[in-house]
Structure 1
């Protein structure tokens, strides 16, 4: 494992150009100049530095225009990579992505409930070392490690009120612990924020700048992207929409769905079959959950006015797809026809959304923060 990580220190102008190239690639220098509001000379100078750094590359010549053919620019997937770590009930997941956000590798291991943090840190170190060796990336440029940790930030802004299976971590400064464990920079977000950043950098939604991801997992949360930036709030806990559905009461979460089928005598392994067959237990749960998600979506529209709402998390895709279809019909009835229409969709990331999103955190921090 490399012990002397290369620090990527970008000027604000270079961050802007990387973000524009990410969203609009392949893009010419002339197009960049217009979008960035910079002179052609400034664009040439900054892009030269980015090319030398290996973060961008030139594509094939554009022969369709008059004059000297232009060389469009795009991010260099091999320019750097980043690592994501996430924690779910009973598991720890690792994902590695390239500089374009493409997944290179993912792996899951058992993680005991309330495992002491020092044991987890050793486990993370071994997982990262094994992953880099497997992919022969021990000496690659690693931008950093993102961590998706479920739980809100406490009043001191350092410790997290982690979920019950990570309860023993609640009085620990996780940022400091993760930073000291490995030689790269570390960034922590909750699952919803990490997943939202993952969607932002997935390449699917480059035309959108205001995105809300509603996570329907073991809990309920929202990751809010406003003007391409994560919206954190005054205490850095924006998006805690699960507060509207207290734990212990019926709520539209994956954990709640599992509880419903368990009460009926079914195990989690039977869930896909029950959903496919529209079992009465599923239908009863779905009818109530749909109304709750509708309330959440309407609140999101009223308060945030996003261009795109994504339903994600560990909820089965058959459920989130159905919710999208039914809530679209609901919005047809509720919204004024003259109002600009939000796009409602479901995430394609599935159960890996938190670790994949966590791997995007270093990209976001380097380019967008």
Structure 2
């Protein structure tokens, strides 16, 4: 694992696991006391005090006195310092790309989305670099405070080598070591992940992960993918392709439920859309064709969530990606998770829910460097 230059440039040591556990609790609780940190991490009070002091000294967290409304001295609550570090997130899609700037508290400071007729890599990289420079200047951020760039891309991972096999529209990004190439292109350390896996990581830090430690994220875009979070951590599989839920459906027997099919269905019903990006920018859940798409995909979705429920037994299944929330809520409301309801005492089933995060790929990509170096999973809060 390459250590980002962020640590050396800011004279900061890499965090130990115990320090990461403390940071995870502070991030998820927003304001938290030292006794609560001890309770959530099982670390001794003396260890927590030492870790809190060290993280305060480097500027990662700060303690503030918060009145409880009762008599006596206000208690000290700890929060992360947003300005301590920043990341960029980039999502590479078949017809567009997105860039987000994220601070240390995992808040998105700004998001830029660009629709593109073609996705040739040199031109797109030049545009992304220009956006990076503009965002740093606009938000007055020292480039030395950038931990790195997360990149989310559609396609299969080729064995964890930094190479991906994306859809045909992204041929210029295929079968090359994107980690090495983009690190050189961007001038920052780069993490590359399948878009669904990246979005699942973002959801684990900023969305469903605040409530559920075990969930599956369904990523709806031109195709359908997924990311599996177990005990707060991404389950990548031995080749980096865990969560490829679209492959649950036998080819030719079931329609793949995705936004490409939605686009075709809307067009056939007289709704003029110029690609998925245009569809999403103007989407109306009452358009003619939406109900037809819901009916056509219901069986496919039910098979997918039933298989995930039976094999993984997650607490929740989250619908996200590029699908509008108004549509994903309709999808979730009409699905059936197959169950035998034995003795009128059915097994517990996962909660079906819609993600609150927009553009999950770019947001999840920005979270990748923070997840790696500061915020591990598996901390129950």
User: Same fold by TM-score, threshold 0.5 exceeded?
Assistant: yes
Residues 187-212 of structure 1 deviation map (CA, whole Å, 9 limit, x = unaligned): 11111111111111215541211121
Residue 124 of structure 1 aligns to a residue whose secondary structure is helix
User: Residues of 2 paired with 1:259 and 1:246: CA distance?
Assistant: 21
Match of 2:39 in 1: 34
Picking from 65, 73, 79, the partner of 1:74 is 79
Structure 1 pair 56–156 and aligned structure 2 pair: CA distance change class (3 A): closer
Structure 1 pair 334–65 and aligned structure 2 pair: CA distance change class (3 A): farther
The equivalences for 1:73-152 within 5 A come to 73-115=78-120, 117-139=121-143, 141-152=145-156
Residues 1-20 of structure 1 deviation map (CA, whole Å, 9 limit, x = unaligned): xx974455111110111112
Structure 1 window deviating more from structure 2 (52-61 vs 41-50): it is 52-61
Q: Is the 8 A contact 1:85 1:148 kept in 2?
A: yes
The equivalences for 1:93-242 within 5 A come to 93-115=98-120, 117-139=121-143, 141-155=145-159, 157-202=161-206, 205-242=209-246
User: Size of the alignment, in residue pairs?
Assistant: 361
Q: Is the 8 A contact 2:160 2:240 kept in 1?
A: no
Residue 85 of structure 1 aligns to a residue whose secondary structure is strand
In structure 2, runs of 5+ residues without a counterpart are: 377-381
Structure 1 window deviating more from structure 2 (50-59 vs 202-211): it is 202-211
**How big is the shift at 1:129?**
0.9
**How big is the shift at 1:61?**
3.5
Structure 1 pair 49–232 and aligned structure 2 pair: CA distance change class (3 A): same
Match of 2:59 in 1: 54
**How big is the shift at 1:261?**
2.3
**How big is the shift at 1:97?**
1.3
User: Residues of 1 paired with 2:189 and 2:347: CA distance?
Assistant: 43
Residue 276 of structure 1 aligns to a residue whose secondary structure is coil
Residue 292 of structure 1 aligns to a residue whose secondary structure is helix
Structure 1 pair 67–343 and aligned structure 2 pair: CA distance change class (3 A): same
Q: Is the 8 A contact 1:6 1:141 kept in 2?
A: no
Match of 2:324 in 1: 316
Structure 1 pair 273–87 and aligned structure 2 pair: CA distance change class (3 A): closer
User: Residues of 2 paired with 1:338 and 1:127: CA distance?
Assistant: 52
Picking from 336, 342, 347, the partner of 2:350 is 342
Q: Is the 8 A contact 1:4 1:183 kept in 2?
A: no
Structure 1 pair 155–359 and aligned structure 2 pair: CA distance change class (3 A): closer
User: Residues of 1 paired with 2:279 and 2:248: CA distance?
Assistant: 29
Q: Is the 8 A contact 1:275 1:318 kept in 2?
A: yes
Q: Is the 8 A contact 2:89 2:367 kept in 1?
A: yes
Q: Is the 8 A contact 1:159 1:171 kept in 2?
A: yes
Q: Is the 8 A contact 2:62 2:81 kept in 1?
A: yes
Indicate whether 1:290 and 2:298 are aligned. Answer: yes
Could you say what the CA RMSD is over the residues aligned between the two structures, in angstroms?
A: 2.7
**How big is the shift at 1:289?**
0.5
User: Residues of 2 paired with 1:300 and 1:355: CA distance?
Assistant: 25
Structure 1 pair 129–311 and aligned structure 2 pair: CA distance change class (3 A): same
Structure 1 pair 246–118 and aligned structure 2 pair: CA distance change class (3 A): farther
Structure 1 pair 242–358 and aligned structure 2 pair: CA distance change class (3 A): same
User: Residues of 1 paired with 2:250 and 2:208: CA distance?
Assistant: 33
User: Residues of 1 paired with 2:348 and 2:30: CA distance?
Assistant: 27
Structure 1 pair 174–270 and aligned structure 2 pair: CA distance change class (3 A): closer
Tell me the TM-score normalized by structure 2: 0.86
**How big is the shift at 1:356?**
1.4
Structure 1 pair 90–217 and aligned structure 2 pair: CA distance change class (3 A): closer
Match of 2:16 in 1: 11
Match of 2:369 in 1: 362
